[in-house]
Amino acid sequence: MRYLVTSEEMKRYDKATIEKIGIPGPVLMERAALQTFFCLKERGQITAVHKVLILAGYGNNGGDGLVLARLLCEAGKNVFLWLVGNEAKATQDFLLQKKILDSFPVKMVTDKPEGSYDVIVDALFGVGLSRPLEGRYLEAIESLNRVSGFKIAMDIPSGVSADTGEILGTAFRADLTVTYGFEKKGLYLYPGKSLSGEIVLADVGISKRSFRDDEPQCFAMDEDLQELLPKRVPDGNKGTFGKVLIVAGSYQMAGAAVLCSKACYRTGAGMVKILSVPENRIILQETLPEALLGNVMEEEDVISSLLWCDVICIGPGLGRGAEAVKAIAMALGVHEALTTTQIENIQKKPLILDADGLNLLTEHSEFLDIIKGQGQAGRQIVLTPHAGEFLRLWNASEKIVEGSEDLQMNTFKRQPWNYARQLSKWLSVIVVAKDARTLICAPEGPYCMNLSGNSGMATAGSGDVLAGILSAFVAALGHGKALEPDLFFLAACRAVRAHGLLGDEAAKRLGEHAVMAGDLIP
């Protein structure tokens, strides 16, 4: 697991390291510069580098830059230092490093640099920047972006918001970002990710000891695919690894059912049953003969299937007709055809709602009320909306959540984690908010940002594959029983990361332009 911190969190951990643990600020500066120097050395840059330009401000990030300038001078490099800002606001640690640097042969740059450099270093602003760059700061960054050379950002590229990844006026375009202590959220959120280049996390002495019961609210998983997959017992049978019911595929939409079900099987589910319309039967039998089939139009078939399974996944390509509405009502255990015993049985089963399953919730807000009640009662439910579906869910939730207001796409995109966490808490469900950086949120506790995946996965059917993977993870981990809440949340985090890793593997083989959803499955 990796922590992704905000600017305020990082400031608190930095302060706790200095004031509570007792590591002085200048020591942290020395370590930050040393780690950056080592990164250059590991890449062979120290041998090749002769001419270096360092842009520094008068804060502590600038102090890091001054230490790096000293280290490069000691290595025999020709170092140019460009200080930009208000010297009257220089920090004490910066002034200490500046006094030490005065004994070294660093050349001062007083205007926009000309020519080229082997290495260009950005140490202008750290994580504290919260407003757009302007004036001489903006001009300095734009000047560096025009100068040729290998470009390094110390901690975060100046102009990239550490919290949101937004570009604050303009931003330094780095080939390499060496970030200190913990990774910053903005380095992985777009467009900030596009300007950060390769990201290296450097240990400078700021550790989990600095949390002091104040852990970061965002994390990312870093396990590889084999570590993510549910463990299989050697003496298991098909029931051991879970029975999944997939309610999917309307007329001329058989593909969604195929992708979801095949992904579910490939991820390790022991048995998969597909409830779909009769028109899809031949396609499903020929494409996936391993699956059991049921008729979503037949009431008794739907009921028996819901009672048979361990996990219910409903929605991929399902459509929004009367039979789809009826299937949702039965999966929620609120249909009049169900007996009390059947209702109790069905409402114990984990429920995954995707695609048209989500669209039906927005068109029938009474279902949202029911989901909220069942989530509060302990039923394990996952909603998997993409951005458009999320907005429709949020705005439909306005009917059941006091104080909620209509949400617009541009507002949601600025801070999607805020809204995903609120929706999760309101409905007492897991929310998987799908995007370039998918967020997995539980009603309480930290949320997960997924860092795997690529643009090739922005293709029809990719979400259907994720729904199948997620269903298999929940089924296999539960072995037919309800999961502990933390493990249920972890299953969703693992499934999303696995889905992204599969997309990365497909992109390696085919190129991002060529990836189709079905390419993730083999």
- Residue 232 pLDDT: 87
CA 399 to chain centre: 29
DSSP state of 289: T
- Residue 481 pLDDT: 64
**pTM > 0.75: yes or no:** yes
- Residue 399 pLDDT: 61
Q: Beta-carbon neighbour count of residue 201 at 10 Å?
A: 17
Residues 6+ away with beta carbon under 8 Å from 301? 275, 294, 295
Closest by alpha carbon to 71, among 42, 99, 38?
38
Sign of the alpha-carbon dihedral angle for 4, 167, 58, 36: positive
Output the 3-class SS for 13-44.
HHHHHHHHHCCCHHHHHHHHHHHHHHHHHHCC
- Residue 49 pLDDT: 79
* pLDDT under 50: residue ranges of the chain: none
Please give the single-letter amino acid code of residue 434.
K
Phi and psi at residue 54, to the nearest 5°: -120, 120
Say which residue the tokens 């899809």 belong to.
Answer: 280
Output the 3-class SS for 291-345.
CEEEECCCHHHHHHHHHHCCEEEECCCCCCCHHHHHHHHHHCCCCCCCCHHHHHH
Question: Can you give the residue ranges of every domain in the chain?
Answer: 2-216, 225-229+236-520
Residues 274 and 294 sit within 8 Å (Cβ to Cβ): yes
Half-sphere exposure of 362 (CA within 13 A, CB side): 19
Domains 2-216 and 225-229+236-520 share a fold: no
- Residue 403 pLDDT: 67
- Residue 95 pLDDT: 97
The pair of structure tokens assigned to 117 is 């450099």
Say which residue the tokens 């870093």 belong to.
Answer: 222
CATH architecture of 225-229+236-520: 3-Layer(aba) Sandwich (3.40)
- Residue 85 pLDDT: 95
Rounded-to-10 torsion of CA 68, 72, 73, 78? -120
- Residue 397 pLDDT: 81
The CATH code of domain 2-216 reads 3.40.50.10260
What are residue 313's DSSP bridge partners? 246, 352
